[in-house]
């Protein structure tokens, strides 16, 4: 049921034998949609990609195709679900499997008010038996792995025993993979953004989970921003998940197939990736009228740290260019690739608008 779009030709030499969870890009609401994942897949063939959270309500009462459709090239791709009713989660998990997702993940880490009102996300950590029931309901109806993403604690509950007992209880229901955001969620008084920054990171608790549950797959998440840091975490746990850094600095992904999966690195240049995205924008527009800027917004980090990147980015995010076809926007953006002098760039940019 996923759609196929052309991708630049590449050769995959061998299939690695590493855990699929060794390196992944985090689920991020409004960010890791299918367009973003298509872009990330151009940069890395083996990194596991997660969807944004999709609530069970959206699937039982909403447009299933809109929430679940994805491009065939995105594999391996995991569907993250938000919900707390075992029956609804079972239905949603089955739908996810039928649509072709490689994994179903349950969100037990989101602290937003909206999610708390729905009594799911991070507040589920207070009711491990309910999470176990949810996991069991899903495991009973799908063959793909059912995994859980969670925090190390909620509010002032910061003992190791709390997260250990959560993992133990949920593992007994059939979950073998835990992705742990290594900070507490504070359910009162902090915004979701602050909840990704303010509660301190405590990586050592996640390492201890791996020691205490050697048969489970434990992946770590939170504040990891470099290949060096990923390597050092992999000394202690089975996998690393990156969120914001992968989004803001996506070229990092091009190192991962080689560094972490022992596979050939991507041979595509930034320019080839950008052009492949232009092809994709044209296809998406032809398929369902998707505007190019809904796709281009995810690739604004492609030239992160390079000369002229600011001006290149300004072209791809310029509202005045929305009526133009993407290939024209692309050719305007090329004027700024490698540009050195900001004055020269700004005056050219004035002409763009
Ligand atoms: C914009 C945004 C949206 C997010 N949405 C979700 C989500 O839908 N589900 C989820 O489990 N985590 C979500 N997160 C949290 C990330 O998955 C991740 O746990 C968090 O950003 C910490 O990892 P990092 O420090 O590598 O970014 C979101 C994060 C961001 C920045």
Establish if 108 belongs to a structural domain. Answer: yes
Do 283 and 257 belong to one domain? no
Nearest CA to ligand 1 atom 2: 28
pLDDT of residue 114: 82
Place of tokens 């800027």: 293
**Residue 8: φ, ψ to 5°:** -60, 150
CA distances (Å), 288 to each of 153, 203, 281, in order?
43, 44, 11
Establish if 7 belongs to a structural domain. Answer: no
Q: 73-84: per-residue pLDDT in tens?
A: 999 999 999 999
Establish if 8 belongs to a structural domain. Answer: no
Do 193 and 234 belong to one domain? yes
Last residue of a domain, one of 242, 261, 280: 261
- pLDDT at 209 exceeding the cut of 50: yes
Pocket test for ligand 1, best of 24, 25, 29 (most atoms within 8 A of CB): 29
In the predicted model, what is the mean pLDDT of residues 57-62? 93
Nearest CA to ligand 1 atom 7: 28
Pocket test for ligand 1, best of 24, 25, 26 (most atoms within 8 A of CB): 26
How far is it, in rounded angstroms, from Cα 55 to Cα 83? 6
In the predicted model, what is the mean pLDDT of residues 251-262? 97
In the predicted model, what is the mean pLDDT of residues 293-306? 97
Beta bridge partners of 179: 149, 219
Cis peptide bond prior to 110, omega within 30° of 0: no
- pLDDT at 344 exceeding the cut of 90: no
Confidence band of 16 (pLDDT split at 50, 70, 90): confident
Establish if 39 belongs to a structural domain. Answer: yes
Establish if 13 belongs to a structural domain. Answer: no
Burial of 323 (0-12, 13-18, 19+ CB in 10 A): exposed
Q: Is 149 left (phi over 0), alpha (psi -120 to 50) or beta?
A: beta
How far is it, in rounded angstroms, from Cα 79 to Cα 67? 10
CB atoms within 10 A of CB 71: 20
Question: Which atom number of ligand 1 is nearest to the Cα of residue 223?
Answer: 25
Do 186 and 294 belong to one domain? no
Quick check: 243 and 26 in contact, CB under 8 A? yes
Nearest CA to ligand 1 atom 6: 28
Q: Ligand 1 centre and the CA of 319: distance in Å?
A: 27
Last residue of a domain, one of 261, 293, 309: 261
Q: Ligand 1 centre and the CA of 252: distance in Å?
A: 18
Nearest CA to ligand 1 atom 18: 243
Q: Ligand 1 centre and the CA of 29: distance in Å?
A: 7
Establish if 11 belongs to a structural domain. Answer: no
Establish if 52 belongs to a structural domain. Answer: yes
Do 315 and 221 belong to one domain? no
| Helix, strand or coil, per DSSP, at residue 147 | strand
**Where does ligand 1 bind, in terms of residues with CB under 6 Å?**
26-29, 31, 52-53, 80, 107, 109-110, 149, 181, 196, 221-224, 242-245
Do 182 and 35 belong to one domain? yes
Query: Residues with catalytic annotation?
Result: 110
Nearest CA to ligand 1 atom 10: 27
Do 32 and 90 belong to one domain? yes
Q: Ligand 1 centre and the CA of 243: distance in Å?
A: 6
Pairing relation of β-strands 48-55 and 77-82? parallel
Cβ contacts of 103 within 8 Å, gap of 6 or more = 20, 48, 76, 78, 79, 144, 145, 146, 147, 177
Do 338 and 217 belong to one domain? no
Token pair listed for 119: 């009594």
DSSP string, 235-280: TTSSEEEE-HHHHHSGGGGGGHHHHHH--PPP---HHHHHHHHHHH
Question: Which atom number of ligand 1 is nearest to the Cα of residue 244?
Answer: 27
Q: Ligand 1 centre and the CA of 69: distance in Å?
A: 21
Nearest CA to ligand 1 atom 23: 222
Q: Ligand 1 centre and the CA of 109: distance in Å?
A: 9
Q: What percentage of the chain reaches a pLDDT higher than 90?
A: 85
Do 161 and 204 belong to one domain? yes
Q: 129-143: per-residue pLDDT in tens?
A: 999 999 999 999 999
Question: Which atom number of ligand 1 is nearest to the Cα of residue 224?
Answer: 26
Do 134 and 242 belong to one domain? yes
Do 171 and 231 belong to one domain? yes
Q: 317-339: per-residue pLDDT in tens?
A: 999 999 999 999 999 999 888 77
Establish if 2 belongs to a structural domain. Answer: no
Domain CATH for 66? 3.20.20.70
Helix (H) or strand (E) holding 177: strand 177-181
What is the number of structural domains in the chain?
2
Do 308 and 227 belong to one domain? no
Do 195 and 91 belong to one domain? yes
Q: How far is CA 162 from the centre of its chain?
A: 26
Q: How far is CA 101 from the centre of its chain?
A: 14
Q: Ligand 1 centre and the CA of 72: distance in Å?
A: 24
Quick check: 119 and 108 in contact, CB under 8 A? no
Q: The domain containing residue 39 runs over which residues?
A: 23-261
The mean predicted confidence, pLDDT, of the chain is 92
- pLDDT at 11 exceeding the cut of 50: no
Last residue of a domain, one of 261, 293, 314: 261
Pairing relation of β-strands 146-151 and 103-108? parallel
């Amino acid at each position: 049921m996923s759609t196929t779009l052309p991708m630049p030709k590449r050769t995959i030499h061998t299939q690695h034998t590493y855990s699929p969870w060794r390196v992944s890009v985090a689920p991020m609401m409004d960010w890791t949609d299918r367009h973003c994942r298509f872009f990330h897949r151009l940069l890395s063939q083996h990194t596991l990609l997660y969807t944004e959270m999709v609530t069970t309500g959206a699937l039982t009462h909403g447009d299933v195709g809109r929430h679940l459709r994805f491009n065939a090239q995105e594999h391996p791709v995991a569907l993250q679900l938000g919900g707390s009713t075992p029956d609804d989660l079972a239905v949603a998990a089955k739908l996810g499997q039928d649509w072709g997702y490689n994994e179903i993940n349950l969100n037990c880490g989101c602290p937003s008010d909206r999610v708390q009102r729905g009594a799911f996300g991070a507040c589920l950590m207070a009711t491990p038996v309910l999470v176990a029931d949810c996991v069991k309901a899903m495991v009973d109806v799908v063959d793909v792995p059912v995994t859980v993403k969670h925090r190390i604690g909620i509010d002032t509950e910061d003992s190791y025993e709390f997260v250990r007992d959560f993992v133990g209880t949920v593992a007994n229901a059939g979950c073998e993979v835990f992705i742990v955001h290594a900070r507490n969620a504070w359910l009162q008084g902090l915004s979701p953004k602050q909840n990704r920054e303010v509660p301190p990171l405590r990586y050592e608790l996640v390492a201890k989970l791996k020691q205490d549950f050697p048969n489970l797959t434990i992946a770590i998440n939170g504040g990891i921003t470099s290949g060096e840091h990923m390597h050092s975490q992999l000394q202690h746990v089975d996998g690393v998940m990156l969120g914001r850094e992968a989004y803001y600095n996506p070229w990092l992904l091009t190192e991962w197939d080689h560094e972490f999966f022992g596979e050939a690195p991507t041979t595509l240049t930034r320019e080839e990736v950008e052009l492949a995205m232009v092809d994709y924008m044209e296809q998406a527009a032809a398929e369902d009228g998707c505007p190019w800027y809904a796709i281009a917004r995810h690739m604004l980090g492609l030239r992160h740290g390079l000369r002229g990147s600011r001006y290149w980015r300004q072209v791809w995010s310029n509202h005045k260019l929305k009526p133009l076809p993407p290939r024209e926007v692309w050719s305007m953006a090329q004027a700024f690739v490698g540009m050195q002098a900001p004055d020269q760039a700004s005056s050219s940019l004035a002409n763009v608008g």
